[in-house]
């Protein structure tokens, strides 16, 4: 003997329409079926829900309290069914995205916000990794999307280019390199290079293509830390331009006069695996991210 959702719906209808018979009518069932269900519910709960002493059966105070709880329950059932319907319409249950810490968060956040405003049932998980760590995480977690500076291509990976971005080689104004003209690689080697620690590869041989191979390299975690370290005069390093627009303008950071080029452009890519096709939310979010990256930061 078990509690039946359908019976709670019947209870609700009876109260709503005022009689067993009318509720039966609304349900397209015989009145005896309604009587039977209510009786069964009463027996199950051990509570008299209706007072039959009067002409029209009317709710007892206990029945009223049960009805309130029952309605809450019905609402929750509806929620569950809506959730299921969303899933069956192609919305995936979860969506994991790995993003390279070098890329700006703002457009992603804006895209996620827009996604959430569309009442999408998908639970989004966002992780930040650095350099090869992004792809490593993407592969080992079977993530759905990654946003990378660059990646190791495989036959399954599908990528869409985002708008081009630039990193700038900078140092603090008081740093010796800031005043130097025509800087060559050998000059750089005498100073501390600040770099983001690769979050993926344990292999210390792996190096960022932009790394100079100075004797002293500081590994930091995250570009905000890196920017701060550079501004404190700890060393020099590459920083995404969107992070230091203001600082370059008011010259609290100096772009180094590096002979081989103090700017390095790259096109971030939005990548997913054709082995794990994107669901509806994944496609939608991809489009949103693409859009947001076109906007100025």
Partner DNA sequence: TAACACAATAAAAAAAATAGATGGTTCAAA
Partner DNA sequence: TTTGAACCATCTATTTTTTTTATTGTGTTA
Q: Which residues bind DNA (CB under 7 A)?
A: 1, 4, 6, 14, 18-22, 24, 28-33, 35-40, 50, 52, 54-57
Q: Which is nearer to DNA, 10 or 137 (CB)?
A: 10
Based on its alpha-carbon atoms, the radius of gyration of the chain, rounded to whole angstroms, reads: 31
Binds 275, which of DNA, its own copies, none (CB < 5 to 8 A, cut-off by type)?
A: none
Alpha-carbon distance of 270 to 254, in angstroms, equals 31
**CA distances from residue 181 to 234, 237, 262 in whole angstroms, order as listed:** 20, 17, 12
Alpha-carbon distance of 222 to 20, in angstroms, equals 67
Binds 77, which of DNA, its own copies, none (CB < 5 to 8 A, cut-off by type)?
A: its own copies
Helix H or strand E encompassing 62: helix 61-88
Site residues, its own copies (CB under 8 A): 2-6, 45-47, 60-62, 64-66, 69-70, 72-73, 76-77, 79-81, 83-85, 87-88, 92-94, 121, 123
Alpha-carbon distance of 162 to 29, in angstroms, equals 59
Q: Which is nearer to its own copies, 80 or 118 (CB)?
A: 80
Minimum CB separation from its own copies for residue 134, in Å? 22
- CA 189 from centroid of its chain's CA atoms: 40
Binds 109, which of its own copies, DNA, none (CB < 5 to 8 A, cut-off by type)?
A: none
Alpha-carbon distance of 43 to 279, in angstroms, equals 47
Pairing of strands 58-59, 263-266: unpaired
> Which of 138, 139, 32, 28 is CA-nearest to residue 147?
138
Minimum CB separation from DNA for residue 28, in Å? 6
Q: Which is nearer to its own copies, 4 or 295 (CB)?
A: 4
Binds 61, which of DNA, its own copies, none (CB < 5 to 8 A, cut-off by type)?
A: its own copies
Q: Which is nearer to its own copies, 21 or 27 (CB)?
A: 27
Q: Which is nearer to its own copies, 2 or 181 (CB)?
A: 2
């Amino acid at each position: 003997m078990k509690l039946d959702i359908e019976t709670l719906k019947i209870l609700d209808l009876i109260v709503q329409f005022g009689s067993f018979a009318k509720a039966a009518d609304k349900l397209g069932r015989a009145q005896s079926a309604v009587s039977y269900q209510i009786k069964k519910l009463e027996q199950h709960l051990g509570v008299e829900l209706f007072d039959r002493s009067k002409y029209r059966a009317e709710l007892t105070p206990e029945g009223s309290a049960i009805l309130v709880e029952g309605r809450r329950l019905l609402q929750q059932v509806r929620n569950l069914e809506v959730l299921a319907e969303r899933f069956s319409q192609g919305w995936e249950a979860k969506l994991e995205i790995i993003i390279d810490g070098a890329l700006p968060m703002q457009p992603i956040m804006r895209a996620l916000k827009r996604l959430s405003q569309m009442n999408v049932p998908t639970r989004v998980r966002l992780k930040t990794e650095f350099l090869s760590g992004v792809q490593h995480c993407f592969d080992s977690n079977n993530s759905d999307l990654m946003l990378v500076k660059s990646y190791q291509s495989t036959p399954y990976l599908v990528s869409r280019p985002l708008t081009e971005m630039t990193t700038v080689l900078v140092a603090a104004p008081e740093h010796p390199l800031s005043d130097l003209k025509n800087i060559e690689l050998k000059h750089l080697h005498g100073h501390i290079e600040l770099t983001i620690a690769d979050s993926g590869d344990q292999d210390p041989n792996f190096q960022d293509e932009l790394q100079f191979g100075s004797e002293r390299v500081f590994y930091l975690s995250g570009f905000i830390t890196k920017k701060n370290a550079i501004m404190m005069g700890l060393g020099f390093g590459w920083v995404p331009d969107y992070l230091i627009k203001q600082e370059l303008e008011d010259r609290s950071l100096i772009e180094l006069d590096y002979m081989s080029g103090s700017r390095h452009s790259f096109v971030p890519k939005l990548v997913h695996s054709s082995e794990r096709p994107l669901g509806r939310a994944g496609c939608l979010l991809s489009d949103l991210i693409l859009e947001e990256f076109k906007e100025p930061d």
